[in-house]
Structure 1
Amino acid sequence: MFNIQISSLKEIEEEQTEYICEDWLPVPKKTVSMIVANGGVGKSWIIIQLALRHLIKNPDEKVFAWLSEDPKGLSKFRANLICSKILGLEREKIEEKLFISDSPTFPINLNNIQKLKEQLKDFNLILLDPLIGFYGGDENSNADARIFMQHFTKWASEENKTILFIHHAAKGSGKSRGASALVDAVRLVYQIEKIDKSDTKRKFTIAKDNYGVKNILDCTEFERVVFPKKPIKIVFEPVENMNISMDLKEVGDE
């Protein structure tokens, strides 16, 4: 037995999509979105900066980042560099609102999704890295992927959570690997690539956009500073073959 909620258009209250980090990397609220990139692109740096920027504008909210591929100490080190070298911010003002876990991931299913919801009930923004760490089905099965993603899309809409998955790209491609249903279920997908001769920036491409993020950014491709600038190294090298002429005088010559 099931119940379909039916409303006339007259009864429905109009609403517009809201976003987090609208001026840097817009992500629609109360939905599930995805960042896709190959290894070594800097996905962890990106989502840490996203979390920090969100907290700057929303200091009363809480953010949870499950960065299972990096130790917590390394994530804090990166957060400190982002605050001081990119954002020009004292981390003490927001660090109590950003929570990080490096615990091993586990497959999320109907039997344990409720426990996850209870543990993360106080967080407004939830960042999960990597998606495959929470996925227990056949990665190439659309049926398995659809069931898995339904847990999170339902959670986001019913409890006003903004959920962002970090997903690995297929080898030799910047596109999402695995079943197409993983991408079908989310509202926004960013693909990230390296930029030649740039140590600090990355290229972002909007690969899926159900809520009109491209209208906010006025483009589908853009660049963002992800890493702090490296300090300039001054190297002193020995100078060879220099002819130096000196007039030497012995004491008492005058």
Structure 2
Amino acid sequence: MTDFHFDKVPSIDEIDSVDLMNLSYEGRKPMDFILPGFLAGTVGSVIGAGGGSKSLLSQIISFNVGGVKSVDLDIGDIPVGRSVFISCEDPKIVTEDRALAIKEYCTQEEWEMVARNVDIKCFSEYSIDIMDDRWFKLFVEMLEGTRLAIIDTLSLIHSYDENVNTDMKKIISRFRQICEITGSGILFIHHANKGTVLSGNADSQQAARGASSITDNVRFQLNVFMPSNDDRDFKKVAGTLKNRDCVALLASKVNYGEKYGTFYYERISSDHPNNKGGYILKKLQKGASSEQKKYD
């Protein structure tokens, strides 16, 4: 655990400095990435339009960190660890349906690992204010010992004005404080600007709704959007699929590590009669079958 001095101005002797004389690769651990390009202990975001599958995609990320490989976004190496998905927007049954749709494709061994590693907390009945010390302490407690926390959504855990840069800077700083104390990384989900989406720029780094500091102060950003029918790369992998049945994922901001391109996924609904809202995402690849193996 690291002390984070949120309101303190340090003395010159208290500032952590780089010892250039003794700096060496020997005995020094390399950077640890939760996802490709997303450094452990930092703050990132998932940006997308309403109803655009950003919550499902984020829940799959949480499960991938927890050990699921059968339903995999296939964006690169994702080391296994504990994760917590903090659902503030959707009713519990919606989150459960998404989890059950993923479970249909998992082995028993995988699901037992998920049950150990993934924690889903449902707060749709609460009004959260992360700037309130009581909520702050609860979040620190939830994130202790986790590798990744996903917050769904940003707008539901504070009472500040999301169009004011200074306000949003304070919220992101609050997240950084939690990361420093717990060692966990935080990905928060946030809505895209409607004008950006309608103009066909949902893949832009500036797609987030509200103040620019929402983007400027995170170290990593994923954009989730419906691919365009004019997208040549999408056409190469889509076959007969319509763009409305698919989801595109792009890391539009990667401060650490190598950048990577756009990935495309098909939305596959659960065929269980008691699951009306759950579905998974299957990566589209040229010449690959759309069939996905299920486990009984």
Deviation at 1:202, TM superposition (A): 1.2
Deviation at 1:74, TM superposition (A): 2.3
The letter of the residue matching 2:128 is F
The letter of the residue matching 2:100 is N
> Equivalent of 2:252, from 207, 230, 237?
207
Q: Does 1:228 align with 2:250?
A: no
For the 8 Å contact 1:132–1:167, the answer to whether it is kept is yes
> Equivalent of 2:158, from 113, 117, 135?
135
**Within-5 A mapping of 1:57-136:** 61-85=81-105, 88-90=106-108, 91-103=111-123, 104-109=126-131, 111-112=133-134, 113-136=136-159
The letter of the residue matching 1:206 is A
The residue number in structure 2 matching 1:9 is 20
For the 8 Å contact 1:138–1:144, the answer to whether it is kept is yes
Q: 1:60 to 1:41 in 2, by over 3 A?
A: closer
Structure 2: 5+ residue runs without aligned partners?
A: 1-8, 69-77, 197-201, 230-241, 272-296
> If the length of structure 2 is used for normalisation, what is the TM-score?
0.66
The letter of the residue matching 2:99 is A
Q: For residues 184-223 of structure 1, what are the alpha-carbon distances to aligned partners after superposition, in whole Å with 9 as ceiling and x for unaligned? A: 1111111111135146531122221101341xx3x3x222
The residue number in structure 2 matching 1:239 is none
The CA distance in 1 between the partners of 2:246 and 2:58, in whole Å, is 14
> Equivalent of 2:218, from 154, 174, 186?
186
For the 8 Å contact 1:170–1:177, the answer to whether it is kept is yes
The CA distance in 1 between the partners of 2:172 and 2:139, in whole Å, is 14
Q: 1:106 to 1:11 in 2, by over 3 A?
A: farther
For the 8 Å contact 1:129–1:165, the answer to whether it is kept is yes
The CA distance in 2 between the partners of 1:31 and 1:148, in whole Å, is 14
For the 8 Å contact 2:143–2:182, the answer to whether it is kept is no
Q: Secondary structure at the match of 2:144?
A: coil
The residue number in structure 1 matching 2:209 is 177
RMSD between aligned residues:
2.6
Q: State the identity as a percent.
A: 24
Deviation at 1:71, TM superposition (A): 2.1
The letter of the residue matching 1:143 is T
Deviation at 1:59, TM superposition (A): 9.4
> Equivalent of 1:156, from 176, 179, 189?
179
For the 8 Å contact 1:108–1:135, the answer to whether it is kept is yes
Structure 1: 5+ residue runs without aligned partners?
A: 232-254
